[in-house]
Each structure stands twice: as C-alpha cells, then as structure tokens.
Structure 1
Amino acid sequence: MTARITSTPTQDRTTDEDATSTRLGVALRQLTLQVERHRLALSAYLGCSVTETQLMSHLLATGPMTIGEVADAMGLRSSVVTGIADRLEAKGFVARQEDGGDRRRRILVLRGDRADEVRDAVRLLDEAVGDLGARRATQLAEALELSGARLDGVTDGLLAREPLAPSPRRLR
C-alpha cells in the first residue's frame, strides 16, 4: 500500500496505520530480496540450481514426498519435477525409495551425508535470527506465518489471472 500524500486539509491524510502498513510492505519486499540472495548463495554453495534447492527445501520441511506432491507444492508439472529429481539424484542429494505401504509408489528422500550438508547450510539461516530472544522470535514467527498465509492467497489470485505475456516457466 502506498502512503497517500495530499495537498489540501480537507482530503484524507496518511494515517499512522497507513505508514506502518507501508513500512511493513517495504520491509517484506526487502526481506524477499535478501531471501532470494540467500537462495542464490545456497545454490552456488551446493552446486545446484535454485529450483533444485527449492525441491530440497520442501523435502527438509515436510520429509519424504512423491513427485506429484512436490509438483503440487512447487506449482510445477510432474514431468518437470521428475527432471529436477533426476539431476539431484545424479548429484547424490536425493534418492527414490519404495513407499513402505505401497511398493508401486516411489518417494523422494534426501540422502545421508548430502542431506546433512543441506541441513547444515540451511541452519545458517537459523543463526541469522538466533539472538532475537524467545518472545521476539515467537512474535516474528507468528507475524511471518500470518503474512505467508496471506501471501498464499494473493499468489493464488495472481495465478488465476490471465498472463500479460507468455511465460517461459512451465507452471501447472
């Protein structure tokens, strides 16, 4: 939301809430850029593409997933995720395993030592906020969770719109 600046006293002036909302929006956009920079650095460190690190982040966050589950989470086609998984498997980061309940079903899992390397690299992000204190960290986590849920709604709305130009990205 952009703050409204008016020239006459009869029009609405910017409120404290508007200023706070604008500051929060700017801070979130800046944080997004910093997270993207971190993702690029993580990708370079691991020798993977950004999309490959995103897939591994999903596995770290949720545990083993099928190709279809990863595709849904990432908003990509299953065929695209299969290619990403193939590359990560060749690099030793993931493995396909049989699902214990259904031998026909294959799941993606992070592999041993490589999984530890990914976890260690991701833990660096935890260290960036480690000294906030429990109360402040909890408040920030709650605010980010709420913002994330709202962003998901905005993103769904954006994905429902007609694209302004053809997209090179193969989304679902």
Structure 2
Amino acid sequence: MFQALRRLQQGCEVHAKRLSRLGGLTPLQLLILQVLQMEQEITASGLAKQVSLSQAALSGVLDRLESRGLLARRRDERDRRKQWLLLEDAGRDALRTAPPLLPEYVMARFAELPEWERHAVLAGLLRAAELFELPEEEEE
C-alpha cells in the first residue's frame, strides 16, 4: 500500500512542479481558484472544507492569491465577522491560461477505462483518503 501511495505522491509532485513552472500556480492554488469559479462566492470555512485544509493553513494561501490580485475578500453586510471570497478577473485569466490540474494523459487514460473501473478507482482513492483521517479522539 505504501509503495502505491508513494508512486502517486511522486507523480503528483512532478506534475506540481510542472504546474508551478508553466502556470505560476501550485496545485492547491489552482484548485482554490477553480472552486471559487464554480461557487461564485464562498466563505473561507466553506472553501477549507472543499479543499480539505484547516482554516489556519488556508489563510496563508489566500493571502498570497489576494496579493497577486487573483481573488478578493468581501465582508458580509449583515455579519461583519464573515468574509466572502470571490474570484477576480486576473484569477479568471490565470485559470484560462493554467495547465490542467491533472495531466491530460492521466485524464485520457482514465476516460479509456470501462465505467465500472473508473468508479472503482475513484472509490478506492476516496477510501484510501479516509483511512488517513485521524480518529476523533486523536484530532487536535
């Protein structure tokens, strides 16, 4: 199991370097911009859940994206404690020119699999991710 996970990690690291070199964005930054594009507006806590990060870890990434003009924060008019995140035009441009989040050859190979096998691969990846979640009594 570890060897398979290591091969996946290695492939992801190689692609992450390629993404940064070609598009100037990390996979996480690209994922955040994609979520913002789909959602139109979302709170930081909602975004943190969608990208599987703590709000503390997400905060630094949001600061970097905001400093580059790719996203904006807007205070909620009714609840001033709440901030909404939205994609700026520069963020949309970055998404248009960025390489795909997953390599095209991976997506092509995935699409060639029979439907049952695509479902099995996805289910296996989701289950593997769940296995790494800390039991509730160990969470900080």
TM-score with structure 2 setting the length: 0.66
Partner of 1:65: 42
What is the rounded CA distance, in whole Å, between the counterparts of 2:121 and 2:111 in structure 1? 15
Q: Is the contact made by 2:44 and 2:85 (CA closer than 8 Å) also made in structure 1? A: yes
Deviations for 1:76-131, whole angstroms, at most 9, x for unmatched residues?
Answer: 2x34423321221111121123569x564322223224323235424373522454
Q: Which consecutive residues of structure 2, in runs of 5 or more, have no partner in the other structure?
A: none
SS, match of residue 131 in structure 2: helix
How does 1:92-171 map onto structure 2 within 5 Å? 92-98=69-75, 104=80, 105-123=82-100, 125=102, 127-129=104-106, 131-132=108-109, 134=111, 136=113, 138-157=115-134
Q: Per chain length, whose mean CA-contact separation is higher, i.e. which structure has more relative contact order (CA < 8 Å, sep 6+)?
A: 2
1:43 to 14, 20, 36: 20
Aligned length: 135
Relative to the length of structure 1, the TM-score reads 0.56
Residue 97 to residue 123, structure 1, CA distance change in 2 (3 Å): same
How large is the Cα RMSD of the aligned pairs? 3.6
Residue 7 of structure 2, aligned match among 30, 36, 40: 30
Residue 74 of structure 2 aligns to a residue in which SS?
strand
User: Identity of paired residues, percent?
Assistant: 27
Amino acid at match of 1:57: L
Q: Which runs of 5+ in 1 are unaligned?
A: 2-24, 163-171
In structure 2, distance between residues paired with 1:135 and 1:109: 35
Larger radius of gyration between Structure 1 and Structure 2: 1
Classify 1:71/1:120 alpha carbon distance in 2 versus 1 (closer, same or farther; 3 Å): same
Q: Deviations over 1:10-43 (max 9, x none)?
A: xxxxxxxxxxxxxxx7455323311122123223
Within 2, Cα distance between the matches of 1:87 and 1:114?
Answer: 12
Structure 2 distance, partners of 1:37, 1:109, is: 29
Q: What secondary structure sits across from 1:157 in the alignment?
A: coil
